[in-house]
Amino acid sequence: MADDAVVKITGLAELQKSLAALPARIEANVVRGALKAGAQVMVEEAKRQVPVRSGQLRDSIHVSSRITKRTGKVTGNVVARARHAHLVEFGTAAHWIKPKSRKSLFVAGLLRAVVSHPGARPRPFMRPALDRGWQPAIDRFAEYADKRVAKEIEKARKG
C-alpha cells in the first residue's frame, strides 16, 4: 500500500501511569484490547462505506492485532482481505485482458483473443473510514482502557 495511515496517540500520561502499575502481560492485553475496540470503529465505518456487490469485500474487513515478543510493542490494523480490495479502493487503469491458458476469451457471445478493459474509477472506503472515524476510535480506545485498567487494579488489590 503506497499511503499507509498511522494514528499515534500521545498525551495519555494518566493511562501510562496506571498501566505501569500492572504486570507487563496485563498491560499488553489492556492495550491490545483497547486497540481492537478503537479499530472496531474504523471497521464499522469502512463496512458502511464499501460499495457492496456480493458482500465479499465488506465481509473481509476486520481488525488484526499483535504483540511483538521482543519489544512488547502492540499494533493493530484494519484490513480488507478480499483479493480485489485494493482495486476498488484505488481504481484501475485501462488495460488489455488476455487469456492465460486458452487461445481466446468468450465475451458477450463472441470469442476474442484479447479484450480492452476501460479501467475502473477509484471507490475509496478505507481512507474515508479513517478520515471520519479517527476521533471516535481514539475515544473508544480511551474508554476501554480506562474501564479495563480500573478493573485490573481492583483485581490486583483483591488478589
pLDDT (tens digit per residue) in 118-159: 999 999 999 999 999 999 999 999 899 889 888 887 887 786
Q: Which amino acid is at 20?
A: A
DSSP for 32-91 reads: HHHHHHHHHHHHHHHHHHSPPSSSHHHHTEEEEEEE-TTT--EEEEEEE-STTHHHHHH-
pLDDT for position 3: 54
* Whether the Cβ atoms of residue 67 and residue 32 lie closer than 8 Å to each other: yes
Work out the angle between the directed axes of helices 13-20 and 126-158 (0-180°, nearest 10). 40
> How high does pLDDT run on average in the chain?
86
How far is Cα 101 from Cα 80, in angstroms, rounded to an integer? 29
Residue percentage of the chain with pLDDT more than 90: 52
Nearest-CA neighbor of 16 among 135, 149, 107? 149
* Whether the Cβ atoms of residue 76 and residue 64 lie closer than 8 Å to each other: yes
- Residue 1: pLDDT band (50, 70, 90) is very low
- Residue 2: pLDDT band (50, 70, 90) is very low
Q: How far is CA 64 from the centre of its chain?
A: 7
Q: Terminal CA-to-CA distance of the chain, rounded, Å?
A: 47
